[in-house]
Amino acid sequence: MLPVEIKKDIFWVGSVDWNLRDFHGYSLARHGTTYNAYLVKDEKIALFDLVPASCLDEFLNCLKMTIDPERIDYLFVNHVEPDHSGALPRIMDIIKPEKVFCSPIARQALVSHYHREDWPYEVVSTGQTINLGKRNVTFLETKMLHWPDSMFSYIPEDKLLISSDAFGQNWATSERFDDEVDQSMLFSLAANYFANIILPFSPLVQKVLAKVGEVGWDIDMIAPDHGLIWRRHIPEILAKYGEWSAQKPQRKAVIFYDTMWKSTERMSQAITEGLLKEGVSVRVLPLKSAHHSDVMPHIMEAQAVIAGSSTHNNGMMPLVADMLTYMKGLKPQGKIGAAFGSYGWSGEAPKQISEFLQAAKVEIVAEPLRIKNVPTEQDLAACREFGLKIGREVIQRVDV
C-alpha cells in the first residue's frame, strides 16, 4: 500500500491484510483487516504502533516511501498485542531508535513477549507529555481496553487521537477515511468489532469516555489501529461507544439454535411468532450458518437471548455449546433468556442450556421448553405461548 498523509507531516504507513478470516475466534468473513501505523515528521521523527511480523515487508515498503527508517528517533507502543508489535524485533534492528515509549505495564509485556531488557524503554503514564518539536504527545492509559498495557496518544497541535484498538473495525480497504466508504457498512463493522472485542470492558469504556471529556481534548481525527480513520463522524462513533458500553437493550430478542431433523428449528419459528405478536423485534440465527461472532452484535443490542438445541449424546449440540461459551466470555449484561429444544429419548439439552445461561448471568424468565420428536400443533402452540411470555418480559423491562 501507499502511504497516506492524514495531517500535515503525519502519515498512515500501515499494511492491509486482505486474506485474514479469523481474528482470535472472531470471524472476519470476507472483510479482512488493516494494521495501522502512523509516522509523525517533526524535529523528532516518531512512529506510532506497528504491524504483525508477517506484514513487515509490506510495512517497510510503505514506510520507505515516506522516510528512511533509520531517521526515526522515537517508537511509541500503544499496545503490545502481536498484531501491533510483532514486527518490533526486526524494526528495532533497522531503526535503532533513541527511545521506545510505552505504558508501565506495556514495558513488562514487551519484555515478556520479546525477552529484550536492553531496548531503550521510556515508561510514560497518564497525563505525561513528550515533546517532538512543534508537537507534543500526551498519554492516557486505557488499561483493559482491551489489554492491560493499552494507552491512547494525543497530539493537541493536530487535534489527533491515536486510539490503539478503540474505535476500530476489521475491514481491509484501499480507502483510509470514514467518509470514503459506505456508512452503513462502516458502523455495522464498528458494532461487530465492539461486540466481539470491547464489550467485556464496557464499564471501562464509560470511564475512558468520561476521562476524555474531563481532560478537554479537542479531537477532529481519531486514528485507530484497525480499519478506517475517523475524520467526519467523530461525534457519531463517540456516541455509539457510549450507547454500546451502556448496554441498554432494545425491544429485541435473539434466537440461536442448532437442529438435527428440523424439530428444534420448527420450535424456533413458533417461538418467533409469539415474540412478534408481543411487538418484539426478532433475529433468528441458525448456528450452522451464523458464526458465533456474527451473533454477538445482535446479543449486544437485544434484551432477550433464547437458545435452542436438539439433545445429542445426552447434551447440547456442539455449535450451541460453542456459542454459549463464546457469549459467556464476552459478558453481556442485563439480559433475560430461556432455553428450548427437541429430543428423542433423554432430553437434557434445554436444561443444560438454561444452566449455562444462568452461569453467564442471564436471568431465566421461562422454564426450559422440551418437545419429544416431532412437534404437534399442540406443541407448537406451547412454543408460541413460550414466545409470548418472553415477549411480555422484554416489553416490561425495555419500556420502563
Is 83 among the residues known to form the active site?
Answer: yes
Give the pLDDT confidence score for residue 400 in this predicted structure. Answer: 64
CATH class belonging to 252-394? alpha beta
Task: Judge whether 193 counts as a catalytic residue.
Answer: yes
Which one of the listed residues 42, 83, 265, 294 is annotated catalytic? 83
115 part of the active site: no
Annotated active-site residue 165? The verdict is yes
Contact 330, 284 (CB under 8 A): no
What string of pLDDT tens digits covers the 400 residues of the chain? 899 999 999 999 999 999 988 887 888 877 999 999 999 999 999 999 999 999 999 999 999 999 999 999 999 999 999 999 999 999 999 999 999 999 999 999 999 999 999 999 999 999 999 999 999 999 999 999 888 999 999 999 999 999 999 999 999 999 999 999 999 999 999 999 999 999 999 999 999 999 999 989 999 999 999 999 999 999 999 999 999 999 999 999 999 999 999 999 999 999 999 999 999 999 999 999 999 999 999 999 999 999 999 999 999 999 999 999 999 999 999 999 999 999 999 999 999 999 999 999 999 999 999 999 999 999 999 999 999 999 999 999 997 6
Rounded Cα distance between 124 and 111, Å, is: 16
**What CATH architecture is 4-245?**
4-Layer Sandwich (3.60)
Q: Which of 117, 121, 119, 49 is nearest to 87 (CA)?
A: 49
* Catalytic residue list contains 113: no
Give CA–CA dist 227/23, Å, rounded: 14
Nearest to 17 by CA among 86, 79, 115: 86
* Burial class of residue 226 (count of CB atoms within 10 Å of its CB; 0-12, 13-18, 19+): buried
* Contact between 58 and 1 (Cβ < 8 Å): yes
- Tell me the sheet residues that pair with 250: 302
The active-site residue, picked from 146, 233, 292, 298, is 146
**How confident is the model at residue 79, as a pLDDT?**
94
Q: Based on the residue annotation, tell me whether 81 is a catalytic residue of this protein.
A: yes
57 labelled catalytic:
no
- Give the active site residue among 26, 31, 42, 79: 79
Catalytic-labelled residue, pool 165, 294, 348, 393 = 165
Pairing mode, if any, of strands 136-141 and 129-131? antiparallel
Q: Residue ranges per domain, the chain?
A: 4-245, 252-394
pTM of the model: 0.94
Catalytic (active site) residue 226: yes
